[in-house]
Amino acid sequence: MSRKAFILHGLFCAALAAAQAYAQDFPSRTIRFVVPFPPGGGTDILARALGPPLNRALGQSVVVDNRTGGNTVIGTEVVLRAPADGHTLLVIAPSFSINPFVRSKLPYDTAKDFSAVARVVQTPLTISVHPSVPAKDVKELIALAHAKPGQLTFATSSIIGGQRLAAELFFRERAKAEIIAVPYNGGAPASTAVMGGHTTILVSNLAEAKQQITAGRLRGIAVMSLTRTAQLPKLPTVAESGYPGFEAANWYGVMIRSATSRPIIERLGSEISKALQSDDVHEHMARVGLDLAYLGPAAFDTYIRGEMQRNERIIKLLKLKLD
């Protein structure tokens, strides 16, 4: 080994040892989950469910910081500006993998500035309506939309996220129905708008619609998974309602600044995996309609890149843009 190579090898080993030592001392202060949506939605529910078991495992407080706006860009930028020391994490939804293709410019590079920690859950998307809407199933809803083109509206939790893409693909591409999108700044405000009669249809995560459907404040029309969900077993799928093969679901996960040391990322991914195995988290997720779907750091990184490729194709098809 040359003298130069020997020195470089020594520096690499020293850096690796320092990173491992730092990871052993991690965390040294409060862990912050930045949620780029308001309280009450699926990402917020997830972050708050993970807090107690991570607090026990890591020995530090875990807080949730809701930073809304900009189709999740504001919250994402908060994490980008935080130290890359593992204490600030970003809870993401599909909008994270959509924003690069609907905006001409972002204050960060989605692929380079962030690394995956864990995919945590998936949740079926649902279609529901205000009880006054004279449609009991998908067939009747689409017939109503065809009879009243441009008069029906659907609410989603963000300007362009997973729910909006799924709704546009179904209503516009598959059903050929002219239904107008009305985006809200989170799942809870979108649900409230439909329950208040301000918007006709809600396309949302099961976690955000289940309680309202069960209580009769919304009428469930269909679930977008290929098979019925045990959470609302009487709700038919879109596929069995005359649109075979149609499927749409949301997923939530945790990201971190890519400059964070790998041992810290791996530890956080491992601790989240353990937290999901605890009875209280498992039961809470099932109760609200979130299905556990864990992927570790490397697998989730691969998954996100696949989602970005898929979403780029869909957005070009639908010609959706924010600027």
- Per-residue pLDDT of 37-63, as tens digits, reads 999 888 999 999 999 999 999 999 999
User: What's this model's pTM, rounded to 2 decimal places?
Assistant: 0.83
Give the dihedral of Cα atoms 215, 218, 220, 224; nearest 10 deg.
Answer: -110
Residue 201 in 3-state DSSP?
strand
Q: Helix count (H) and strand count (E) of the chain? A: 12, 10
Dihedral sign (CA 111, 125, 64, 288): negative
**Cis peptide before 27, with omega less than 30 degrees from 0?**
yes
**CB 54 within 8 Å of CB 268:** no
Q: How far apart are CA 267 and CA 271, in angstroms?
A: 6
Q: How far apart are CA 319 and CA 308, in angstroms?
A: 16
**CB 225 within 8 Å of CB 249:** yes
Q: What is the pLDDT of residues 223-236, one digit of tens each?
A: 999 999 988 999 99
In the chain, what are the domains? 30-123+250-318 (3.40.190.150), 124-248 (3.40.190.10)
Lowest mean pLDDT among 60-69, 113-122, 211-220, 313-322: 313-322
Q: What is the pLDDT of residues 121-176, one digit of tens each?
A: 998 899 999 999 999 999 999 999 999 999 999 999 888 899 999 999 999 999 99
Q: What is the pLDDT of residues 107-117, one digit of tens each?
A: 999 999 999 99
| Cβ atoms within 10 Å of 137's Cβ, excluding its own | 17
